[in-house]
Amino acid sequence: MRTFTCALSILVVANAALIAQSTATQNATGRVTTVAADSITIQTSTETLTLVVDSSTKVIGKGVGTITSRLKAEGRSPVVTDLVHQYDSVRVKYGASPDKGLRAVEVRIAVKAVRKP
């Protein structure tokens, strides 16, 4: 019985460690090089990161609420390409997704890219 309890305790601790690893997030700051409906690529000072985005990815920044309200009034939900653009400076919180690779949890737009008319 004592061996069983010890083995069960080891399994519980190992499972808790795996869950903690899967929910850990990292941060990256960089400039957006490519935006697609299902991904965003940013260039940091040391690497290029391509991150999966989905409907649960939160986008924060000046004007995001206004754009979201306008699109909802038109009867559609915003996607990342409506809110984030090439050359925007962003800070991204991301984590590992078991089936999709790296997934952006949050994209915070620090500086919008200057657009020419």
DSSP track, the chain: -HHHHHHHHHHHHHHHHHHHHHH-EEEEEEEEEEEETTEEEEE-SS-EEEEE--TT-EEESTTHHHHHHHHHHTT----HHHH--TT-EEEEEEEEETTTEEEEEEEEEEEPPP---
Domain ranges of the chain: 26-111
The pTM of this model reads: 0.75
pLDDT of the chain, 117 residues: tens digit per residue = 555 444 444 544 444 444 444 568 999 999 999 999 999 999 999 999 999 999 899 999 999 999 999 999 999 999 999 999 999 999 999 999 877 789 999 999 999 988 755
Q: Which CATH superfamily is domain 26-111 in?
A: Copper binding periplasmic protein CusF (2.40.50.320)
